[in-house]
Each structure stands twice: as C-alpha cells, then as structure tokens.
C-alpha cells in the first residue's frame, strides 16, 4: 500500500521505466496480431494500460494529461508509447501537486467500492504490472524480443555469457 507521496514517486518511476522498456519493443505491425480469439492484442493491452491511468485518476478528482478512457487505439506503436509516457508522467505530477501524505487516506468511489487514494495508486501500479506481463507473453507468441524487467529474459542470459535456466 502506498502511504506517502515519496513512496509512490519511487515506485511509479520504476514502473514507468519498465513499461516504456516493454513498449519500445512493440512494433506497429504487432499491434493487431491475434494470437487467440480470447487474448487481447498487444495494441489493446498497451492502450488499456495507457487509458487506465487517466480513467482511474479522474475518479479521484485529478486530471492527468492523456487519452480518454474510450479513445480509439492509435495506429502506431510510437503513438501509444508517447501517449503512455504523457499520461504516466502527468499522473505523477498531478499527485505531487494536488495530494499530500495525509490525503492518501481520503476515500473515493472506485467501481462501487470505497478505496483510499493510497490504495488506488497501489492498484494502478499492480494493474500495470499485470497487463505488462500479459504483453510479454503475447510478444513472445508474435516473435518479438522481450527485454528483462525484474531480471534477464531467456535471450539476455546468452548475452551475459550464461546458460538460461531450464524452461
């Protein structure tokens, strides 16, 4: 749970960097590739992460720059990367400008439940991690390289001159 603005700032900065690292490996051609009828495309996953930032923040009364929740998925990977970066950085700026450690305890209506703002920020982080992980699976299925986030990927082990752990 986020209990201070500084906690959020540190965690969010790390997660912004991780998500940007993934988004840099997504190609425009891969955005619409379907891997299974019940699995979101990379474009839809990346755009969901992006639009969720502004959608969730607006439920708390702050309005970061970024696309509306119902905005259509852009045609290019660069547009998604840029929109994500704008929304993610703007969220941090808005939190730092408008909230204090004390206001993290304020509750807002979030999807029919009452969440503290600290809980909302925690959910934003874990939500992003969850969908970013889904993206890496889809990326592997469509043949894209995957960067290591919390450790090396299978391909990165070889670059380090080490044998990858057994699959």
Q: Which of 12, 55, 42 lies closest to 132, judged by CA?
A: 42
With contact defined as beta carbons under 8 Å apart, do 106 and 116 qualify?
Answer: yes
The most distant pair of C-alpha atoms in the chain lies apart, rounded to whole Å, by: 51
User: In the chain, where are the structural domains located?
Assistant: 5-159
Coil, strand, or helix at residue 147? coil
Cβ distance 30 to 75 under 8 Å?
Answer: no
pLDDT at 153: 86
CATH of 5-159, one of 3.40.190.10, 3.40.50.150, 3.30.70.1150, 1.20.120.450: 1.20.120.450
Give the tens place of pLDDT for each residue, 101-160: 999 999 999 999 999 999 999 999 999 999 999 999 999 999 999 999 988 888 788 888
Please provide residue 12's backbone torsions phi and psi, each rounded to the nearest 5 degrees: -65, -40
The number of residues in the chain equals 167
């Amino acid at each position: 749970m986020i209990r201070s603005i500084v906690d959020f700032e540190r965690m969010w900065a790390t997660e912004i960097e991780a998500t940007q690292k993934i988004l840099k490996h997504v190609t425009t051609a891969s955005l619409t590739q379907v891997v299974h009828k019940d699995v979101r495309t990379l474009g839809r996953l990346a755009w969901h992460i992006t639009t969720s930032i502004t959608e969730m923040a607006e439920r708390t009364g702050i309005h970061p720059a970024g696309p509306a929740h119902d905005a259509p998925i852009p045609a290019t990977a660069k547009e998604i990367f840029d929109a994500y970066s704008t929304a993610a950085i703007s969220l941090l700026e808005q939190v730092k400008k408008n909230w204090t450690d004390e206001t993290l305890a304020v509750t807002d209506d979030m999807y029919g439940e009452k969440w503290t703002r600290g809980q909302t920020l925690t959910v934003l982080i874990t939500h992003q991690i969850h969908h970013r992980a889904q993206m890496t699976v889809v990326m592997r299925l469509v043949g894209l390289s995957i960067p290591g986030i919390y450790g090396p990927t299978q391909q990165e082990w070889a670059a380090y001159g080490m044998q990858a752990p057994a699959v």
